[in-house]
């Protein structure tokens, strides 16, 4: 049996005596030495354990224990993340990178282009716009004319309405021309018939 002193010297002697046991226990229990708890009341018995088999027996008896994992709470982190989602703690004083580093303009541009081009493709496939209007709108989107999908949709509606109006005016003009042409032809026919009638009367 190893006799342990009292006070600081006793603790130092105990630590020196049980250093090997702590190392063996850490290897047996598969953890670090800081996670090993040695029963201070059974220090003498633990000091006699000089093999892994003895250490296993002491661990089974509860004289050597593997300390539980220290809890690292995520509560405060989750709370802060929720606040940031609500817009808190994101003022100028909390920002480290430039605006372009925090949200690159190239990423914003790619997102916008993909949204607009996806809409144009959908409209073309569904027949809402023809391929000629699709090409015009595609090039306008590339030229930064539309800042979002709503603006593009409004432009499409206006373009379709303008196209329908132009077509209506053209049809009306064509109908008017046809009507005038028919009237001219009738008048010409009527005048020719009248002339013939006059010539016939004179011949009599």
Tens-digit pLDDT string for the chain (204 aa):
444 444 555 555 455 579 999 999 999 999 999 999 999 999 999 999 999 999 999 999 999 999 999 999 999 999 999 999 999 999 999 999 999 999 999 999 999 999 999 999 999 999 999 999 999 999 999 999 999 999 999 999 999 999 999 999 999 999 999 999 999 999 999 888 888 888 877 776
Q: How many CA atoms lie within 13 A of 18 on its CB side?
A: 28
For the entire predicted model, the pTM comes to: 0.58
In whole angstroms, what is the distance from residue 155 CA to residue 18 CA? 83
């Amino acid at each position: 049996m190893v006799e342990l002193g009292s006070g600081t010297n006793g603790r130092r002697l105990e630590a020196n005596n049980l250093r090997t046991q702590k190392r063996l226990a850490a290897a047996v229990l598969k953890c670090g030495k800081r996670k090993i708890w040695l029963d201070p009341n059974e220090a003498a018995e633990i000091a006699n354990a000089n093999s892994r088999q003895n250490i296993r027996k002491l661990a089974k008896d509860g004289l050597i224990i593997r300390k539980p994992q220290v809890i690292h709470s995520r509560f405060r982190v989750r709370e802060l993340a929720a606040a940031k989602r609500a817009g808190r703690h994101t003022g100028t004083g909390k920002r480290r990178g430039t605006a372009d580093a925090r949200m690159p303009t190239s990423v914003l541009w790619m997102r916008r282009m993909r949204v607009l081009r996806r809409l144009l493709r959908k409209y073309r496939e569904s027949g809402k716009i023809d391929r000629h209007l699709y090409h015009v709108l595609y090039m306008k989107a590339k030229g930064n004319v539309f800042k979002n999908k709503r603006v593009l949709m409004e432009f499409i509606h206006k373009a379709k309405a303008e196209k329908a109006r132009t077509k209506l005016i053209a049809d009306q003009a064509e109908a008017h021309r046809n009507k005038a042409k028919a009237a001219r032809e009738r008048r010409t026919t009527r005048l020719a018939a009248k002339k013939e009638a006059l010539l016939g009367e004179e011949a009599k």
